[in-house]
Every structure is written in structure tokens, then in C-alpha cells.
Amino acid sequence: MGDNKDQLTIAAEEGDIEKLYEVIGNDPRILGPIDEIPFVDTPLHIAASSSDHERTKSSHEKSDDSSRGRAEFAVEVAILMPSFARKLNPKGLTPMHLALSHREWKIVRALMRFDPELIRVKGKGGRTPLHVAAEIAPPQLLAELLYVCPSSIEDVTTKWQTAVHIALEAKNSESFAVLIAWLVRVERENMLHWKDLDGNTVLHVATRTNQIQVQMAVVKGLDGGRRGCISIVRAP
């Protein structure tokens, strides 16, 4: 039994689907007990955070192949055990949270296509994968997350911060540009008035962090100056 668990971990780290089914063949019940644990690192969590465990890193191509393999593995496991994709580990993170934190963009895309609602699952601090993406993801990926799950923009953390608040706190101007353009597109500029737990709107955050261009963009957005708002945000 212990050996099967070790092999399951190795399969997840390597993105080895054949090994996964070999382990299941040896112990058909192996995934069930994992699901019974409220907070646990499932094989899906392991695959999403295994970039640090790659055994072969001699070339970018091999690393890219490994990432793609683990993305396919992640979907395979999610098909077998859909609950794994929403389960929190002991640190309060889902597989998608982990994939974002480890810059595993292929796994993020694979999971969001498997179930767009995974983007809204709240983890530690009430943070969703979209909140993590607003901090660190490439702007194109952030835009994709918003496109496949438009309602995710409305989620707030336990501090009542929106994704826009978080992008500003991280001083991520590219994420801010994507988010404010999305708010304009879906006519939700009113969210710029939303306050966090300390009573701060995004304009307050921009002012406190001395982000002048952002302040101008927010004011334009609040005034309904859509085209001007977007052009200011994109200014170098």
C-alpha cells in the first residue's frame, strides 16, 4: 500500500498517466481515502506544484514537455475525481491556486477549461485563483480567466478586496489594465467604488501607493470616460 502511494506521488510529479492507471490497477480504491480527508494534497495538488520537483531540467524543451504532461495528468485526475479540483490542501489552496503560484500556466489553462467555476473557489483568506492571477499571472492569462468566468470579477477576499485592489497592492499595472478594461467592457465600473475592510476604494489604494497613472485611470473610469480610461492605463 505504501509503495502504491509513493508511485502515485511520482506519477503526479512526472505527469505520468500510464503510471497513474498502473497504480489504480494495483489498488482500485487508492483515490477514495484521499478524498475523505478534508484538507489534503491530492495527486492533483502535487501535479500543480511539481515544477520544483522536475527530475530533468537540461533544456527548456524538456521542462515545457514536463509541464504539458502534468497539465494532461491534472485533467485526467480531475475527470476521475472531480472533487480533487476543488479540495483545499492544509495551506488552504486548491490545485489552481498552486498552479498559479508555481507559474504552471498550462495547468491553469487546463483546469479552467475543465471547469471554469474553479476560478471562483475560495482558499485561505477568501482568495480565489483570480485574485492570485491579478498579482502574478501574465495579462493574457488573466484576460482568459475573466473571459471564461466573467462572474469571478465580483469575488472578494475576507478583507473585502477585489481583484483590482489586489493588483494595485501588488503594483501590477498590467493586471490593473486588464481588470479595468474588463470592468468597462461588462459595464461594471461601479465596482471601482467598492471598499475593502478598511474602507479603501481602489482610488484610495492607488493614492496611498503613489500610482499616479492609475489614479488618473480610475478617475476616468468613475467619470465614465471609457476610451480615455483604457488609453491612460496603457500609457508607458
pLDDT value of residue 228: 42
**CA-to-CA distance for 57 and 53, rounded, in angstroms?**
10
pLDDT at 30 over 90: yes
pLDDT at 90 over 90: yes
pLDDT at 226 over 70: no
From 10-19, 34-43, 209-218, the region with the lowest mean pLDDT: 209-218
Residue 233, C-alpha cell as written in the block: 492605463
Q: How many Cα neighbours within 13 Å face the side chain of 126?
A: 13
Q: How confident is the model at residue 61 (pLDDT cuts 50, 70, 90)?
A: very low
Whole-structure pTM value: 0.87
Greater confidence (226 vs 192) lies with 192
pLDDT value of residue 229: 45
What average pLDDT does range 8-32 have in this prediction?
A: 97
**CA-to-CA distance for 127 and 119, rounded, in angstroms?**
10
Q: Under CATH, which number does the domain 125-236 receive?
A: 1.25.40.20
pLDDT value of residue 223: 62
Q: Alpha-carbon dihedral of residues 4, 5, 6, 7, nearest 10 degrees?
A: 50
**Would you say 31 and 81 are in contact if contact means Cβ atoms under 8 Å apart?**
yes
What average pLDDT does range 47-70 have in this prediction?
A: 66
pLDDT value of residue 209: 85
pLDDT value of residue 222: 63
User: Mean pLDDT across the chain, nearest whole number?
Assistant: 89
Q: Where in the chain is the domain with CATH 1.25.40.20?
A: 1-115, 125-236
Q: What is the DSSP letter of 39?
A: S
Give the rounded percent of residues in the chain with a pLDDT score beyond 90: 75
Give CATH superfamily name and number for 1-115. Answer: Ankyrin repeat-containing domain (1.25.40.20)
pLDDT at 81 over 70: yes
- Residues 106-144 have pLDDT tens digits of 999 999 999 999 999 999 999 999 999 999 999 999 999
**CA-to-CA distance for 109 and 86, rounded, in angstroms?**
15
pLDDT value of residue 221: 61
